[in-house]
Structures are given as C-alpha cells and as structure tokens.
DNA sequence: TTGCGATATCGTACGCTGTACGATAGATTG
DNA sequence: CAATCTATCGTACAGCGTACGATATCGCAA
C-alpha cells in the first residue's frame, strides 16, 4: 500500500480499427460526425459522442483530426464537394431547364442537410478552404459566361454581365436556402418549387 | 473546529443594482449581452461573463431571464426591432429611391451587427417570436401591395404578385446579408453598393 | 421601533464540454 | 528475442449552463 501512483489506473490501448489506411480512418470519423450532425444537430456532435459511436476513446480522434475545428472543417469540405457535384450533375446544359435543375439540386441539398448547410456557411474558412467555395461559383460563372458569349456579349461587358448574373443567381439561391432551412419561409405560403420558378423567371442568368 | 458544515461557506447576498424597475434590469442585462456579442462573438456571451460585466453573481441573471435561451431570445427581439425600425425609417416612400433606402438600411444593420444578425436567423423562434419577423415582412408586403394597386393590379392577382415581389426582394436581401456577414462575397469583387443597385434593378418590387 | 415573512442574491455542486499530458500495450524493426 | 516506436486512451483541468439551498436584506404589520 505504499503506492499512491501519480495516476490511479491506466488501462491498455487496444487496436480497434478495422480500416487499413489512415485516410480511410479520417473519412470514417467524418462520416460518423456527419451522421450525428444530420440526426441530432450540431450541439450533439461532440468529440466524445463521435468517438463513442466508433467504439474508440475520445483522444484517439486527435491522431487523425485537428480537434473540433478540424472536424468541422472536414465536414464542411465534404458538404461543399457534395453540393458542387450535385449541382453540376443536375445542370448539364446552359438552357433554362439546366438552371432549374441546378437550382433544384442546390435547394434539395440544403433542405436535406440543413444542419450541414448552416455549418458550411457559419464555419470560418481559411483561404485554402475557400477554394471549395470559389470552385462552385467559378463553375456557375463559366456557364453563364459561355451562355452570354453566345448571345453577343464580349470583352469587359461579357465579364461584368456574367459576374452580375451569376452573382444574383447565387445570392437568391443562398437566401432562399438559408431562409428555408431556418424555417423562416412560413410567410411565403407557396411551395418551394413555385418559389424556385419565380426566382428563375426574375433572376435566372438568361431570359432576365 | 467541530464544524464541517454541509456547505463550506455561504456568503451574503448584497443588493448591487442601481436600477429601480425589474424591466430596466432585464434591459440592462440584454444590453450588456449585446455588447459582448458584438465585441467578442457568440461563444463569449456566457452567463458568467455577462454577470461578471454587471458585477453580479451568475445565478442572479436567472431572476430576470429564463436562462441562456431566454437571453438569446431577448437579444434576438432587440435585433428585429432595431432592424425593422431602421428599415422603416429609411424607406419612407414607395419609390425606387425608397426601396434603395430600405435595402441599404437592411444591409447596413447586418454588416454592423454581423454576430447579432446570424443569431437572429439561427435562433429557434417560438410562434410568438415569429410575429417580429412577420411584422417586418408584413410591412414590406403592404408597401408593395399599395404600390402595385396603383399600377392596376387587383384582387387575387394583386395579392399573388405582391407576395412574389416582396418575397424576391427579401430573399435577395437576406442572401446578400448572410453572404456578406460570413465574408463569402470575395468572389464578387464589386462593392456592396453596386451589388445593391444591381439587385434593385432586377428584383426590386417595382420596375422589375 | 420591533419583529417577521417574503424575496433577491449567489456559493456550491453536478454533469457536461474540449483537450493537454503521459502511461502503456501492441506493432515494428534489428 | 530485444529494443524502439507509436497509436491508444485514462486522467485531469478549466470552463460551460444551471439546480439547489442558505442567507442578508427589504417591506410591512403590530
């Protein structure tokens, strides 16, 4: 009994992972966090909860991820990738129908992942991270530009007009998305599809 | 030394307030919280911090406010009142210049109180609270309606068209506000005023 | 003036959070 | 087989919201 050790008890570390790659483990952590975020909201996404769902000690996460901020960053990255690819897939053409498809995909993503969408735009982004956002907007911008160049715009006019129209389109989509996910659209009694159509008629990059 | 009391020490409660009315004290608490929110962001608005700034024990706040949620609710209320009154003051007419004034006031509030603006739209609102939001939108809606009725709209058409235009206007403003306060507008290099003018030209309730 | 009941104040304690530190068991290498 | 490296995670600490209860002070009746 002459041993009051500096720490009471220290239990063994046992390898519990079933994935080989370090990258895969980070991915698994992120997916688990995303599931939790979707089901219970951001406050439920605690280090302990995520680790617990993986059957792993909380501190283990720090081997793969840079703390809570890093976890958020990883979720945000996934979010933007899914949002961007979803929009790109559903707006294959530069036609009016194409804009509608892209807009619907954007709104669908926001409505199906409200917590993630909010996190994506609340989370502080480093300059590196911002490339993700730039990427999505750049894609939209290029589409508008090529469309307008077919309509006779060129040079500075083409650039300015493209930026203006793409910007309006994105601003309107984002406004609608944030209001809808926050449940603030009760004041507008119409369904979401009607709202999209309405916005398209007035702020869509072509036929404005 | 025969006294190990159930609680070690219990120090005296001393009246420290200098305000008479209960309402004034709640107001003082809210203002202190708002100052903290503005200066250091939402995570810094803790019960202990607010109470500390007032030179008061943390639990004292609970006499006047229903916990942290209640504190947030109070801040959100203040925010909407300021936002609504600011917009109303700056859009005195139903003219194009009026819309511009209202839009500018809206954006100015968001840019000057980014943390509060985010809280206002993140905070869960009970049905009672929503009247604040409804109030602001209703004001806008009525303005648009009276304007359109002068242009010959009437009946169902008047109602539908007014809702549509007021909705588009608000959605665009909110989209711009959230993107601007989140620092996500770098992709649009123009100044805020140009963006407002651009939006007004295309989504303003009249001349659309 | 005195006494007493009501009330506002707040110290303490509990269960949470993120995470720094360090001990250890298992894997890896010679 | 022995030595080293490393992933794991128990413990601990500060800070959070807040439930509870002790108490100093206030308002009011006698």
pLDDT tens digits, residue range A147-167?
A: 899 989 999 999 999 999 999
Contact between A171 and B176 using a beta-carbon 8 Å cutoff: yes
| B198 contacts chain A (CB < 8 A) | yes
Considering the domain architecture, whether residues B161 and B187 belong to the same structural domain is answered as yes
Verdict on whether the full-model pTM lies above 0.85 = yes
| Average pLDDT in chain B | 87
Residue of B nearest to A121 (CA): B182
Q: Which nucleotide does the CA of A16 lie closest to, via C1'?
A: D8
pLDDT of B208: 42
Residue A6 lies in a domain: no
Query: Looking at the complex, does the CB of residue B201 fall below 8 Å from at least one CB of chain A?
Result: no
CATH number of residue B101's parent domain: 1.10.357.10
Looking at the structure, do residues A43 and A103 belong to the same domain, yes or no? no
Residue A198 forms contact with B (CB below 8 Å): yes
Residue-wise pLDDT for B118-147, tens only, equals: 999 999 888 878 887 778 899 999 989 988
Q: A154 CB near a chain B CB, below 8 Å?
A: no
Domain containing A114 equals: 79-203
Q: Which nucleotide is nearest to A47 (CA to C1')?
A: C18
Question: What is the DSSP secondary structure assignment for residue B183, as one 8-state letter?
Answer: T
Mean pLDDT across B107-111: 97
Asked if residue A185 belongs to a domain, the reply is yes
Min distance A181 CA to chain B CA atoms (Å): 10
Q: For chains A and B, count residue pairs whose Cβ atoms are closer than 8 Å.
A: 92
Residue with smallest Cα–C1' gap to D6 = A63
Q: B89 and B178: one domain? A: yes
Rounded to a whole number, what is the distance in angstroms from the first to the last CA of chain B?
Answer: 84
CATH of the domain at B18: 1.10.10.60
> What end-to-end distance do the CA atoms of chain A give, in Å?
84
- Return the nearest residue to D9, CA–C1': A57
Q: Which of A100, A86, A57 is nearest to A195 (CA)?
A: A100
Q: How confident is the model at residue A9 (pLDDT cuts 50, 70, 90)?
A: low
- Closest CB to B171 among A118, A163, A172: A172
Say how many domains are in chain B.
2
* Model pLDDT for residues A27-86, shown as the tens digit of each residue: 999 999 999 999 999 999 999 999 999 999 999 999 999 999 999 999 999 999 999 999
Note the strand D nucleotides within 7 A of protein beta carbons: 7-12, 15-26
The residue among B88 and B113 whose pLDDT is bigger is: B113
In angstroms, the CA B48 to CA B118 distance is 22
Please tell me which of the candidates B125, B168, B183 has its beta carbon nearest to residue A199. Answer: B168
Residue B6, pLDDT score: 41
Long-range contacts of B45-53 (CB under 8 A, 24+ apart): B45/B71, B47/B71
Indicate if B137 and B165 belong to the same structural domain: yes
pLDDT at B2 over 50: no
Instruction: Please indicate if any CB of chain A lies within 8 Å of the CB of B187.
Output: yes
Domain presence at residue B165: yes
Residue A9 lies in a domain: no
Residue A12 above 50 pLDDT? Answer: yes
Distance B177 CA to D20 C1' (A): 44
CB atoms within 10 A of CB A56: 18
A91/A193 same-domain check? yes
Tens of pLDDT, residue by residue over B21-70, are 888 999 999 999 999 999 999 999 999 999 999 999 999 999 999 999 99
Residue A71 pLDDT = 98
Q: Which nucleotide lies at the shortest CA–C1' distance from A25?
A: D7
**CA of A57 vs C1' of C22, distance in Å?**
15
Give the pLDDT band of residue B5 (cuts 50, 70, 90).
Answer: very low
Half-sphere exposure of residue B124: CA atoms within 13 angstroms, side-chain side: 6
User: What confidence score (pLDDT) does residue A116 get?
Assistant: 98
Residues A172 and A126 in one domain: yes
Same domain, B142 and B199: yes
How high is the pLDDT of residue B126? 83
Predicted local confidence at residue B19, as pLDDT: 63
The values of phi and psi at residue B126, to 5°, are: -70, 170
Angle at A158 between CA A156 and CA A161, to 5 degrees: 105
Distance from CA of A27 to the nearest CA of B (A): 26
Q: What is the mean pLDDT of chain A?
A: 88
As given in the structure block, the two tokens for residue A156 are 């500075």
Contact across the interface for A198 and B137, Cβ inside 8 Å: no
- Tell me, what's the pLDDT at B190? 73
> Are A122 and B121 within 8 A, CB to CB?
no
Residue A2 burial by CB count (10 A; 0-12/13-18/19+): exposed, middle or buried? exposed
CB atoms within 10 A of CB A24: 13
| A173 touches B: beta carbon within 8 Å | yes
**Would an 8 Å CB–CB cutoff place A20 in contact with chain B?**
no
Question: Using the CA of A44, which nucleotide's C1' is the nearest one?
Answer: C17
Based on the domain organization, do A133 and A196 belong to the same domain?
Answer: yes
Question: What pLDDT does residue B11 have?
Answer: 58
Query: How far, in Å, CA of B166 to CA of B183, rounded?
Result: 26
Do A182 and A99 have their domain in common?
Answer: yes
Q: Is residue B208 part of a domain?
A: no
Same domain, A85 and A51: no
pLDDT of residue A133: 81
- Confidence at A134, pLDDT banded by 50, 70, 90: confident
State whether A88 and A183 are in the same domain.
yes
- The residue of B165, B175, B200 whose CB has the most chain A CBs within 10 angstroms, and thus the best one to mutate to test that interface, is B175
B183 pLDDT tier (thresholds 50, 70, 90): confident
> Which chain B residues contact residue A179 at CB under 8 A?
121, 171, 174
Is A118 domain-assigned? yes
Mean pLDDT, residues A165-180: 94
- The pLDDT of B90-101, averaged and rounded, is 82
Let me know if residue B74 belongs to a domain: no
pLDDT at A191 over 60: yes
Tell the residue number behind the tokens 């919280």, with chain if given: B33
B47 and B121 part of one domain? no
Mean pLDDT in residue range B147-171: 91
Counting residues of chain B whose pLDDT is more than 90, the rounded percentage is 57
Q: Residue B7: its pLDDT value, please?
A: 40
In chain A, what residues touch B115 (CB-CB under 8 Å)?
A: none
Helix axes B192-203, B155-181, angle to 10 degrees: 160
**Is B8 domain-assigned?**
no
pLDDT tens for each residue of A91-128 = 876 677 888 999 999 999 999 999 999 999 999 888 87
B134 has a chain A CB within 8 A of its CB? yes
The pLDDT assigned to B94 comes to 67
């Amino acid at each position: 009994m002459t041993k009051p050790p500096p720490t009471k008890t220290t239990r063994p570390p046992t390898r519990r992972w079933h994935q080989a790659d370090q990258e895969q483990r980070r991915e698994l952590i992120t997916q688990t966090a995303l599931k939790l975020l979707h089901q219970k909201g951001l406050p439920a996404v605690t280090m302990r909860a995520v680790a617990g769902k993986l059957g792993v000690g909380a501190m283990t996460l720090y081997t793969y991820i840079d703390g809570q901020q890093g976890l958020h960053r990883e979720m945000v990255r996934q979010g933007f990738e899914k949002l961007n690819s979803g929009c790109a897939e559903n707006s294959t053409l530069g036609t009016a129908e194409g804009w509608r498809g892209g807009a619907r995909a954007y709104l669908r993503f926001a409505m199906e992942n409200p917590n993630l969408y909010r996190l994506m735009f609340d989370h502080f982004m480093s300059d590196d991270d911002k490339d993700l956002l730039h990427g999505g907007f750049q894609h939209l911008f290029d589409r508008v530009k090529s469309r307008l160049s077919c309509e006779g715009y060129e040079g500075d006019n083409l650039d300015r007009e493209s930026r203006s129209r793409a910007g309006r389109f994105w601003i309107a989509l984002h406004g609608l998305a944030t209001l809808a996910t926050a449940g603030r659209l009760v004041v507008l009694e119409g369904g979401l599809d009607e709202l999209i159509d309405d916005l398209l008629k007035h702020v869509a990059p072509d036929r404005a």
